Structure 1
Amino acid sequence: MIWLMLATLVVVFVIGFRVLTSDSRRAIRRLTDRLNIQPVPVESMMDQMGKTAGNEYLSYLARPDEAHLQNAAQVLLIWQVSIVDGSEQNLQYWHRLMQKARLAAPITDAQVRLALGFLRELEPDALELNNFQLRYNAQFIPQGGVHWLH
């Protein structure tokens, strides 16, 4: 009889947890499915952001339009390449992921500010992020693509 009560308690806990976290899992899955990656990099970034900024990012990512998905992906790119691993190999890897997901675009000033806001607990250097923006855009924007920045 006790095992039945314990099993019921476990089932209720698991179902309750899944219901409470379904919106966040759905928002994260939207980005990870598009990029064809595991949720670990997104969840890791959100953990590094801290609870408040992580929840803000999650709310931002949960918005249904493509522009918010694009900006959230660019924040992930900025974090992965500017904060986690700035190597050329990592930059190429993340750019390829963005291209395959049809999310590759120049990094805008607004996206850098967005990243600075979400990553505020990490106290990123704004100058470093701006330098990364210039490096990324110079490397991946076709010569005729400068009009994308406006």
Structure 2
Amino acid sequence: MTALTTSARAELLSTRLTALRAERDQAQLELVGGASGDAADRATNVDANVRFALLEQRIHALELELAELPLRQRHDGEVTIGDVVVLDLGDGRETFLIGSVDEATDGTEVLTPTSPLGRVVVGAAVGDTVTYEPRRGRSMLATIVSVE
């Protein structure tokens, strides 16, 4: 697994954005109009509205991510979004792509930059050992072994 170039990330995210927009358009067509009908109809309408809202949020997040891509700067040896990083979490080495779940491909473990581990890994350098809290009251260590 190798790090994605900015253009490859943009292409991947754009493809995912197109798919999400199509899914949102389909969800909008499936919305049941009004509050009429029996309880089952109203429940279906609530579910459809929740699904539609979640798709809108995901689309907005991807649009922001695409807009920020050209603004990100790389620093040699420092973990940035889009990198493939090898971490030692204490039980052996594991490889992750730092990025969005929308960038996941077959066999690729994704570490999102907003996760507890992702927040401390992004900006760290090769050789650094960072501490993160996977849940309140539990601290763990991770060592950055390499960055591609």
TM-score of the pair, normalised by structure 2: 0.29
Higher-Rg member (1/2)? 2
TM-score of the pair, normalised by structure 1: 0.28
**Structure whose residues are more often helix by fraction:** 1
**Structure whose residues are more often strand by fraction:** 2
